[in-house]
Structure 1
Amino acid sequence: MEEIALGFATLMHPAVLGFLLIGIVAGLVVGAIPGLNDNIAFAIFIPLSFSLSPTYALALMVGLYCACAVGGSIPAIMVKVPGTASSVLTAIDGHAMARSGKAGQALGIAITSSVFGGFSSALVLLFFAPPMAAFALRFGYVENFALGVLGMASVIGLLGGSIVKGLISAVLGLLVATVGLSLQTGYPRFTYGVDNLYEGVPFVPLLVGLFGVTAVLELSEELIRDRRNGTAARDMPRITDSFVTPWPMIRRLLPSWVQSALIGNVIGIIPGAGMLMAIYMGYERISRRYKRLYAGKPGEPAWGEGAPEGIAAPEAANNAVVASSMVPLLSLGIPGNSVSALFIGALMIQGMAPGPLLFIDHPDVAWMIIVAFLVANLVMWPVSLALVRTISGLVFRLPKHVLVPTISLLCLTGAYSDENTVFSIVVALISGIVGYATRRLGIPHAPLILALVLGRTIEDNLGNALRISGGDWSIFLDPIGHPISAALILGAAAFMVGPAITGGRKRFQNRRRRAEAEVQNG
């Protein structure tokens, strides 16, 4: 209780609360702009937070993270264009409800569902992160190496696409992480005589490039395509009803919120699983429940045609991932998704490192972050309801030819402010081009980011562990001397092998069905 009180005492400073509120408003606006997302918001705001104190900067980032997902539901409902990828399913029932004259109700359900999911994940962060951090303090070099391997394997294995492309992304990130002076020998690697690379590739400009500059290139591509095709502005339904979700609707949606939030929290804790997996699982689960309870009843729309649960399920699951993805970050130093990986940049720019030592070296900041997620979700509800009409009326009309130069300027200014050198701008531009190219090739960015974060840690712990064992690699699988390491390595193997086996089984079943169909038709 003393630690929670410390977190509240730190957060309740008027200036800290002010920056939390700024983050919430900024997140709502950025999330509501189609083409932008929470990754881009972090890439822009992290460098700008350099001059702020740690508590101000991290409160800003918490507000930004919580609100971006909520903002994404606004264009999804109003014009059926998801502001963020996590709002893609909200657009189905949300826009149908808005078209039927219930735009206010749809937005109110989305906001309330998001707050429910977000607050539940903040409670998960509060109760799980501190004990996990205390347990992780017992880890040595062997266990920390195995933990890093597990984090990498989970991200690659849970991508849902090609494991080969995931491995390519991870190897690329590990190669970039090795640039600079070796932690073991002190010799420079891959610096090619460039003094700025002796301490490694600067992390913040790299993130700005991968997310911010890449987004600028993608927006430019969309702008060119829209002008070529003559894309017209979308017609937006008017808001004529109340945003406030009535009590009978809250009682009806409560089971959907609980089930979806539970799914989102479990998915959020697993590194690499991500929001999309959570919203699809929550949406599928609640769709079966809706069809069982409401299908065919008078006055109830069909699933996908304006069902309230079709908005509640993805939004609750989506925001339940937010704070729960911080559990592995704060307790183990492993980001749960790409946004929490960017949160590492916010910590690093303040001279802090994520992981269990954060609770020892900076307890006021660690507990302030946890408490801020609780407070942010409570504050976000009235703020979102108050601003949603204004945002929905203004943001969608913001043209891309204004967004592109604005984001470009913010990205390059942010990259420069990291070390006040032109070299940082060069890093941001190169990483942006690489990020755009890999995106076009279908190579995911999540393994790359995690490899950048964990690369040096994995290398350092591997070297120290092998030095202790005299070069014996079996130390990592020793069930007696290092049972935790053995379990983590086996878990990593399961993450890698499991999806491959499942994918092979599905391909075999599909081939068998096609063969049977050919026999029947032939």
Structure 2
Amino acid sequence: MDQIFLGFAQLLQPSVLLLLTLGVLAGLVVGSIPGINDNIAFAVFIPFSFGLPADQALALMVGVYCAAAAGGAIPAIMIKVPGTASALITTIDGNAMARTGQAGRALSIAMTSSVVGGLISSLVLLVCAPALANIALRFGYVENAALTILGLSSVVGLLSGNVLKGMISAALGLLVATIGYSQVTGLPRYTFGSVNLIEGVPFVPMLVGLFGVAAVFELLRDIFKERRESQPYTSIPVIGSMKLESGLVRRLLPVWGTSSAIGNFIGVLPGAGMLMAIYLAYDQAARRYRRRFAGKEGEAEWGKGTPEGIAAPEAANNAVTASSMVPLLSLGIPGNSTSALFIGAMALHGLVPGPLLFAQHGEIAWMVIVAFLVANIVMWPLAFVVIRVVSRTIFSIPKSVMVGIILLLCILGAYSDGNNLFNVWVALGAGVVAFAMNLAGIPLGPAILGLVLGAQMEASISNSLNISQGSWLIFIDPVNHPIAAAMIAFSALMWVAPLISGLRGRKEPAGTGQSTPVSES
């Protein structure tokens, strides 16, 4: 407890607290710029920490790290272009709700969910860091392979419509993930002689295209439709009321709790990544929504503007931020790519994360931990200020002008990832594919999930089979790998549960005793 008070004493110095607040504000603004991912947002501010003392520099970086993920939800909801990769899933229900005139409600749900997830994760980091670090140490190749299988199994929650189209989407993502050097054989695959594809399809330009460029095509389609039907040009939906009614808050409490727990669990696992947490949380929220609210009067179809579809990914992504610092501060192992950049920021000031950090620089280590808690508290009021300012200056622009602005930002965002013109072509090509998938009714979510998990799954499964000398039973070994066996069992349950629910739904009408047959739709 004395160490926690020491951390607060270090953080609450006026200069340190000011830098933390500036970091939160900067993270919200940079995160709200379409085409910039979390890594870029964080890396942009590392040079600003060069001339600062260690406590001020790390407070600034904590603020940016916490707020960038939340800021990405603003353009995701308003113009269907995620500001950061962490807001990928928020675009689905968030933009759908904005198009019904409830942009303020959607943004308020997103920001409140981010703050709740961040606060829960910060408290977990504050209280349970040593215990969670021991869990992270138990994850080897077999457990990581089972985790990727569990993550890919969450695709079931995204298949609310045509299951075949959803499976095609997931297969397409897995296929793209195989492009580049094989982590098993070391040989190039599907590169067609291009040196730009040796390391795989560039991830950031791919995401920029799938969402940003595709959004440009959708806006153009809206403009042409308005011209054809002689409708006046319309601007992006205005914000409107941002007040959340108490009933909605009570309704979202279980979603916040579950999603935050998922984000905390994924965050402490090295290499698991924020996107896996988002998809798992979204899947669990989808199951709960269909069980309790689907089909009721006044409730939207899942994926068409549901509050849970916004709350789950936003709570999960901010829960990952603080929990990803558990293995970093305790073991010196980054939980994800952005926390890996945090190691660089610490190294600039002669700080080496790991067990010795708490012994040699205890005041700095605990200041970083409590800074995550304070950053989320500061972020809540600042987020609403940023939303109002951004909405007045940017999102009130007519669609015809916004098309050019979004396309320019997408091109700049794709090019800045490696300063390579090839990335621009990747973004444009991905945008065409995403727009075609949208026209064909093929969901984009499973493809993104396959793209994210494909390479990690292949490498983990291959290394696991090398350990077991080719035996697949290693994944269901409850004695030597109980964590992996439990995750495989849960993955199987995720696939079987919808089948059981479907069979039960067919039997219920027959058992009601009614003579009138029930027609199937």
TM-score (norm 1): 0.67
Q: How does 1:81-100 map to 2 (within 5 A)?
A: 85-86=93-94
Per-residue deviation, 1:449:
2.0
Q: Give the alignment partner of residue 46 of structure 2, picking from 47, 53, 61.
A: 53
CA deviations on 1:362-405 (whole Å, 9 max, x unpaired) are 99999969955752454432662x57766666656411111111
Change (3 A) 1:329 1:458: farther
Answer yes or no: is the 8 Å Cα contact 2:169–2:444 preserved in 1.
yes
Per-residue deviation, 1:160:
2.8
For 1:20, the aligned partner's letter is V
Alpha-carbon distance in structure 2 between the residues aligned to 1:406 and 1:366: 43
Answer yes or no: is the 8 Å Cα contact 2:285–2:308 preserved in 1.
no
Per-residue deviation, 1:228:
1.6
Alpha-carbon distance in structure 2 between the residues aligned to 1:285 and 1:377: 31
Per-residue deviation, 1:220:
1.3
Q: Give the alignment partner of residue 260 of structure 1, picking from 236, 252, 269.
A: 252
For 1:261, the aligned partner's letter is L
Change (3 A) 1:399 1:117: same
Q: Which residue of 1 aligns with 2:314?
A: 322
Q: Which residue of 1 aligns with 2:274?
A: none
Q: Which residue of 1 aligns with 2:219?
A: 219
Per-residue deviation, 1:136:
2.7
Change (3 A) 1:367 1:283: farther
Change (3 A) 1:373 1:168: farther
Change (3 A) 1:26 1:366: farther
Q: Which residue of 1 aligns with 2:156?
A: 156
Change (3 A) 1:499 1:200: same
Answer yes or no: is the 8 Å Cα contact 2:114–2:317 preserved in 1.
no
Which consecutive residues of structure 1, in runs of 5 or more, have no partner in the other structure? 31-39, 76-81, 96-106, 292-302, 305-312, 334-342, 353-357
Per-residue deviation, 1:94:
6.5
Alpha-carbon distance in structure 2 between the residues aligned to 1:360 and 1:488: 28
Per-residue deviation, 1:269:
4.8
For 1:264, the aligned partner's letter is W
Alpha-carbon distance in structure 1 between the residues aligned to 2:433 and 2:343: 28
Alpha-carbon distance in structure 2 between the residues aligned to 1:374 and 1:283: 36
Q: Which residue of 2 aligns with 1:442?
A: 441
Per-residue deviation, 1:448:
2.1
Per-residue deviation, 1:453:
2.2
Q: Which residue of 1 aligns with 2:505?
A: 506
Answer yes or no: is the 8 Å Cα contact 2:28–2:71 preserved in 1.
yes
Per-residue deviation, 1:156:
2.9
Q: Does 1:41 align with 2:18?
A: no
CA deviations on 1:465-507 (whole Å, 9 max, x unpaired) are 1111111111111222222211111111111121233235435
- Report the 3-state secondary structure (helix = DSSP H, G, I; strand = E; otherwise coil) of the residue aligned with 2:405: helix
- Report the 3-state secondary structure (helix = DSSP H, G, I; strand = E; otherwise coil) of the residue aligned with 2:161: coil
Answer yes or no: is the 8 Å Cα contact 1:142–1:461 preserved in 2.
yes
Change (3 A) 1:59 1:207: farther
Q: Which residue of 2 aligns with 1:173?
A: 173
For 2:119, the aligned partner's letter is L
Per-residue deviation, 1:511:
9.5
For 2:211, the aligned partner's letter is F
Change (3 A) 1:5 1:211: farther
Alpha-carbon distance in structure 2 between the residues aligned to 1:4 and 1:210: 46
CA deviations on 1:30-71 (whole Å, 9 max, x unpaired) are 6xxxxxxxxx83557865765442976874464344356578
Alpha-carbon distance in structure 2 between the residues aligned to 1:444 and 1:365: 43
When structure 1 is superposed on structure 2, of 110-119 and 374-383 the one drifting more is 110-119
Q: Give the alignment partner of residue 117 of structure 2, picking from 98, 121, 127.
A: 121
Alpha-carbon distance in structure 2 between the residues aligned to 1:410 and 1:430: 16
For 1:168, the aligned partner's letter is I
CA deviations on 1:429-454 (whole Å, 9 max, x unpaired) are 11111121222223222222222222
TM-score (norm 2): 0.67
Answer yes or no: is the 8 Å Cα contact 1:44–1:411 preserved in 2.
no
Alpha-carbon distance in structure 2 between the residues aligned to 1:448 and 1:519: 36
CA deviations on 1:184-235 (whole Å, 9 max, x unpaired) are 2211111111111111111111111111111111111111112222333679
CA deviations on 1:138-167 (whole Å, 9 max, x unpaired) are 112111101110011023345433333332
Alpha-carbon distance in structure 1 between the residues aligned to 2:381 and 2:228: 40
Answer yes or no: is the 8 Å Cα contact 1:191–1:198 preserved in 2.
yes
Q: Which residue of 1 aligns with 2:487?
A: 488
Change (3 A) 1:471 1:44: closer
Answer yes or no: is the 8 Å Cα contact 2:343–2:353 preserved in 1.
no
Answer yes or no: is the 8 Å Cα contact 1:209–1:429 preserved in 2.
yes
For 1:492, the aligned partner's letter is S
Alpha-carbon distance in structure 2 between the residues aligned to 1:263 and 1:144: 25
For 1:53, the aligned partner's letter is I
Answer yes or no: is the 8 Å Cα contact 2:180–2:200 preserved in 1.
yes
Change (3 A) 1:407 1:185: same
Alpha-carbon distance in structure 2 between the residues aligned to 1:441 and 1:192: 28
Answer yes or no: is the 8 Å Cα contact 2:62–2:372 preserved in 1.
no
Alpha-carbon distance in structure 1 between the residues aligned to 2:431 and 2:106: 33
Q: How does 1:93-108 map to 2 (within 5 A)?
A: none
RMSD over aligned Cα, in angstroms? 5.2
CA deviations on 1:326-379 (whole Å, 9 max, x unpaired) are 44687689xxxxxxxxx9776688899xxxxx9859999999699557524544
For 1:466, the aligned partner's letter is L
Q: Which residue of 1 aligns with 2:28?
A: 24
Change (3 A) 1:126 1:516: farther
Change (3 A) 1:48 1:423: farther
Alpha-carbon distance in structure 2 between the residues aligned to 1:437 and 1:397: 28
For 1:24, the aligned partner's letter is L
Answer yes or no: is the 8 Å Cα contact 2:118–2:315 preserved in 1.
yes
Alpha-carbon distance in structure 2 between the residues aligned to 1:195 and 1:497: 43
Answer yes or no: is the 8 Å Cα contact 1:180–1:188 preserved in 2.
yes
Answer yes or no: is the 8 Å Cα contact 1:49–1:57 preserved in 2.
yes
Alpha-carbon distance in structure 1 between the residues aligned to 2:155 and 2:353: 25
Q: Which residue of 2 aligns with 1:63?
A: 67
- Paired residues in the alignment total 448
Q: How does 1:330-409 map to 2 (within 5 A)?
A: 371-372=371-372, 375-376=375-376, 378-381=378-381, 384=384, 397-409=396-408
When structure 1 is superposed on structure 2, of 266-275 and 419-428 the one drifting more is 266-275
- Report the 3-state secondary structure (helix = DSSP H, G, I; strand = E; otherwise coil) of the residue aligned with 1:457: helix
